[in-house]
Amino acid sequence: MKKIVCFLSLALVLSACGDKKEKKDGAGAMTGTIQIDGSSTVFPITEAVAEEFRSEQPDVKVTIGVSGTGGGFNKFSRGETNLSNASRPIKDKEIAICKENNINYIELEVAYDGLAVLVNPENTWVDSFTVEELKKIWEPSAQGTIMKWNQIRPEWPNEEIHLYGPGVASGTYDYFTEAVVGKSGSSRGDFTASEDDHVLVQGIAGDKFSLGFFGLAYYEENKDKLTLIGVNNGAEVVKPSLQSVKNGTYTPLSRPLFIYVNSTSVKSPEVVEFVNYYIDNAGELATDVGYIPLPADLYAKQKESFKTFVENNK
């Protein structure tokens, strides 16, 4: 007990020291509030950036909502938020509302998101999937009915199909269901669902008749135990890779992620500071939370265009 108390007080002292130091280091401490809303997919990156930013500028309050990309743009186009997280580009209808309300904005790409569809290395029959086939397997009505491989393609074996996927609390699950089934958060329920991607790796790696999906990052770590399956994007069969995710040929299971900043907000120095900090650190933090960073020159380009945008709106 004495030990624990000792430890706690030591921790307190240390953390107190830390705070002071950071405040001293922060060249020109800023204050203010930055309002962000939008996509839950982009949220982890923005949250990670905001957390890191807090140690640089502890007095700037960053609030991040998760209304979804559409909900975020709704508020953004009325000038209620400074930044909007988006997992798709802004729609024409939303652009029109922005114009009506005199909101000028800049679109900044921050990372890519890619999803891997995987089977066991002993699976010799699958070479690719079409999106329709994936939908047939995963949609809610498949529950209890699509149970065997040969129900998907007749030439595939008459064996039970064992499905593995992220749990409902996972953003990957939302994303996959949105891209494949058409509605976020809508899927069958009779599969091995785990928020722990290692469980999924273990399950697919040990089961000949398995099929699963999760973020590309986990495939990269377990290449030797899993077989990556290409997905037909309508024109050709493409396997996800840093390359195919970056050049946009791996659709619909990859997409760029954006943040949008409006012109009135960049008059506040803390927003400019935050966005610059975001672009500088997005690559590293995106990788940490399981996304794919843009090429370095693209980040430089984003920074450049943001700089021009700030100067034009001073």
Partner 1 sequence: MPDFSYFKLSYMRKIKELIIEKSLLASALITIAVTIGIILVLSIEAVQFFSEVSIFDFFTDTQWTPLFTEKHFGILPLLSGTLLTSFIAIAVALPIGLTISIYLSEYAPRNFRKTVKPLLELLASIPTVVYGFFALIVVTPFLQEFIPNLAGFNSLSAGIVMGIMIIPYISSISEDALHAVPASLREASYGMGATKLQTAFKVIVPAASSGIIVSIILAISRAIGETMIVAIAAGQQPRLTLDPTVPVETITAYIVQVSLGDVQHGSLEYRTIFAAGITLFVFTFLLNTISYRIRKKYQEKYE
Give the residues lining the site for partner 1 (CB under 8 A): 140, 143-144, 159-160, 162-163, 167-169, 185-195, 199, 202-210
Q: Is 210 exposed, middle or buried (0-12, 13-18, 19+ CB in 10 A)?
A: buried
Tokens of 220: 């990269």
Residue 26 vs 167, nearer CB to partner 1: 167
Residue 123 beta carbon to partner 1: minimum distance, rounded to whole angstroms? 12
Give which of 49, 93, 85 is closest to 67, Cα–Cα: 85
Identity of the residue, 142 or 275, whose beta carbon is nearer to partner 1 in the bound complex: 142
Which DSSP letter does residue 139 get? S
The first and second tokens of residue 173, run together, are 């699950």
Please report where in the chains the tokens 């995106």 appear, as a residue.
Answer: 286
- Residue 208 near residue 123, CB atoms below 8 Å: yes
**Of 161 and 286, CB closest to partner 1:** 161
Structure tokens at 202: 């273990």
Q: How far is the CB of 70 from partner 1 (least distance, A)?
A: 20
Contact 81, 195 (CB under 8 A): no
Ramachandran angles phi, psi of 115, nearest 5°: -120, 135
Rounded least distance, CB 30 to partner 1, Å:
33
Q: In this complex, which beta carbon is closest to partner 1, that of residue 184 or of residue 268?
A: 184
Closest separation between CB of residue 187 and partner 1, Å? 6
Minimum gap (Å) between residue 143 Cβ and partner 1: 5
Nearest-angstrom CA–CA distance, 115 and 131: 13
CA angle 297, 300, 301 (to 5 degrees): 90
Cβ proximity to partner 1: between 154 and 189 the closer is: 189
Nearer to partner 1 (CB atom), residue 108 or residue 146: 146
The distance of closest approach from Cβ of residue 56 to partner 1 in the complex, given in angstroms and rounded to an integer, is: 29
DSSP 8-state class, residue 85:
E
Q: Minimum distance between the CB of residue 290 and partner 1, rounded to whole angstroms?
A: 17
Q: Quick one: 53 or 191, whose CB is closer to partner 1?
A: 191
Amino acid residing at 273 = E
